[in-house]
Amino acid sequence: MASHTPEHAAGNTSSKMDKLTALCRRRGFIFQSSEIYGGINGFWDYGPLGVELKRNLKDAWWQDIVRCAPPGPDGQPIDMVGLDCTIIMNRKVWEASGHASGFNDPMVDDRESKQRFRADQLFGLYAGPHTGNSAADRAAVLAAVAGGIAPIISIIASTGGEAAEVLERQGKKLFKERNVPLQISEIAAEFVLLKERGEPRLGVLAAVPIDVLRGRPLEIPSPFTQKTGVLTEPRQFNLMFQTHTGAVQDDSSMAYLRPETAQGIFANFRNVTDTSRVKIPFGIAQIGKAFRNEVTPRNFTFRSREFEQMEIEFFIHPEQAAEWYRFWRDVRFKWWQSIGLTSANLQLREHDRDELAHYAREGAGTSDIEYRFPFTAPGFGELEGVAHRTDFDLRQHAQFSGLGDKLKYFDQQRNERYFPHVIEPSAGADRGTLAILCEAYQDDPGRPSGVVMKFHPRMAPIKAAIFPLVDKDGMPEIAGNIYNDLRKTWNVEMDVKQNIGKRYARMDEAGTPYCFTVDTQTLSDQTLTVRHRDTLAQERINVAEIRNFLSKKLEP
């Protein structure tokens, strides 16, 4: 795998992505939203081919998750029901979920270097006394941090461990920029042994408290230059879109566009259990739009401000969390492979415990199913997150709605009332579509189009094309009959214009896996040629066999 460089590893990454976006535009997969008005940043439209592709992805998900859910760990069929809830909900939903307060990350700017970072990712190196009594020294320096002393050096990191790594790697450079006569002699996790002018001191790496940052930003050294006096106070960036319900726009009518579909499922948990006879373990699935005011939408459709999610909330008894977490993680990874993401560009990555979201920190784990996009290579970008959300959301809604224990689930078999835990596989439909496009794209100088989209037949926007070799001698009529029959079941196209090579080339760019061509021989023996997109090979089959042929090729 690693032995041969993927064609979109560093080097021609941008050119592959440029070619792909050009093809998406040219062939009608994806357009920029409101293009004739100059576009709008972070919003994308799906054209005639794109809408088929994305719909195939969502339909496959719905079929494989809701209508024909996989057997569970015990081999028994899984209980799964669908849901479709509104984008705008009572705003208390977002207070309960934590989005209203937690979804806007305070950001800090370095006024001098014009760089910005998240306030909660700022770590400081704090120095305290070194008496030799390590327990007392640690307590002393931690007390000093809590008391609000300024760090001597600052670092951007998401965890203390990462801060230690940065310090280890760049320690000398950081001290040089600060121009403090300090030396590091030892780093053990977040604790650091320092020497200041030969005098030993105990250092600790700790998050810079937000209230210190807010109150005295000028005393904190910039993580970029280690200069003081350049940082701004943390500022709020609300990532949720706001709107108003009703004609009068005041504070009381303010509402949010949902930033995730999950909360609609939690808010309907009781409705579903009351009406559908599902029993734990069971899942509720939903496909729908969500909206986030991303700081910087970029990388084609990868980070859009309006996007579509395919989410499952799977409700379980807390004791079964680990088992169901592993189950869904593996099922979802295999599913992406089953629809054509078969290369080493797809990977499953288990999160480190300390990078987990607030609701998942105590859980059985979180993992990402990731794809190596041309623009992330050699890194990966997230397609789907599988998280054990514990009972966080249901408990929050129980509290905020005032329903309390009434929102608990009564388990007949266990004779027990409890808040179920939740395993959440949450996939991005637009990101999935983009990964399928990236995976399918193949330069091929050996064919007339120069490029071919090798979609899995189940995902291909056009399943087959029907061509009369010549636009005469009764061939168009035969082709027309076949077309009219096939289109009752599949999205197929007929094309009579121009020479056959041009028509094959167009279908290569659209990623159509099979082309059926009616020729002179068809007139006498009822056979026609099937041209295979991936191999360019041709075979003859009987006209009456076409339905069988396609059914077999298109089954999951």
Q: Measure the CA–CA gap between 52 and 461, rounded to whole angstroms.
A: 5
- Residue 46 CA, chain-centre distance (Å), reads 18
- Considering the rule CB under 7 A, would residue 54 count as an interface residue with RNA? no
Q: Which of 52, 368, 391, 439 binds RNA (CB under 7 A)?
A: 368
For residues 307 and 58, give the distance between their C-alpha atoms in angstroms, rounded to a whole number: 13
Contact of 123 with 155, CB cutoff 8 Å: yes
Does residue 531 bind RNA (CB under 7 A)?
A: yes
Question: Mask of contacts with RNA, 85-114, x by CB under 7 A?
Answer: --------------------x-x-x----x
8 contacts RNA (rule: CB under 7 A): no
Angle of CA points 187, 192, 194, to nearest 5°: 115
Among 506, 512, 513, 514, binds RNA (CB under 7 A): 506
Q: Does 299 bind RNA (CB under 7 A)?
A: yes
Question: CB of residue 366 vs RNA: minimum separation in angstroms?
Answer: 10
151 contacts 124 by C-beta, under 8 angstroms = yes
Size of the site for RNA (CB under 7 A): 78
Question: Is residue 232 a contact residue for RNA (CB under 7 A)?
Answer: no
Question: Please, which of residues 172-231 interact with RNA by CB under 7 A?
Answer: none
Question: Contact letters (x/-) for RNA, 261-280, by CB under 7 A?
Answer: --------------------
Which of 421, 413, 264, 258 has its CA nearest to residue 328?
Answer: 421
Name the residue nearer to RNA (CB basis): 409 or 467: 467
Return the residues of window 124-183 that contact RNA according to CB under 7 A.
156
Q: Which residue from 2, 37, 74, 402 is in contact with RNA, where contact means CB under 7 A?
A: 37
For residue 390 the two structure tokens come to 């514990």
Say whether residue 453 binds RNA (CB under 7 A): no
Q: Which of 8, 24, 30, 42 binds RNA (CB under 7 A)?
A: 42
By CB under 7 A, name the one of 303, 332, 388, 458 that touches RNA: 303
Single out the residue of 101, 185, 296, 524 in contact with RNA (rule: CB under 7 A).
296
Cα dihedral angle (77, 79, 85, 91), rounded to 10 degrees?
-130
Give the integer Cα–Cα distance in Å for 490 and 547.
Answer: 10
Cα(555)–Cα(543) distance, integer angstroms: 20
Q: Binding to RNA by residue 389, rule CB under 7 A?
A: no
Query: Please, which residue, 497 or 552, has the CB nearer to RNA?
Result: 497
**One of 5, 11, 15, 22 touching RNA (CB under 7 A):** 22
Q: What phi, psi does 293 have (nearest 5°)?
A: -80, 70
Measure the CA angle with vertex 77, ends 72 and 79; round to 5°.
95
16 binds RNA (CB under 7 A): no
Query: Of 193, 120, 115, nearest to 357 (Cα)?
Result: 120
* Contacts (CB under 7 A) with RNA, residues 427-446: 427-428, 430-431
Q: Which residues on neighbouring strands pair with residue 312, listed in sequence order?
A: 285
In the complex, the smallest distance separating the C-beta of residue 132 from RNA, rounded to whole angstroms, is 37
348 binds RNA (CB under 7 A): no
CA 326 to chain centre: 19
Query: Is 447 among the residues that bind RNA (CB under 7 A)?
Result: yes
Judge whether 224 and 110 are in contact, CB under 8 Å: yes
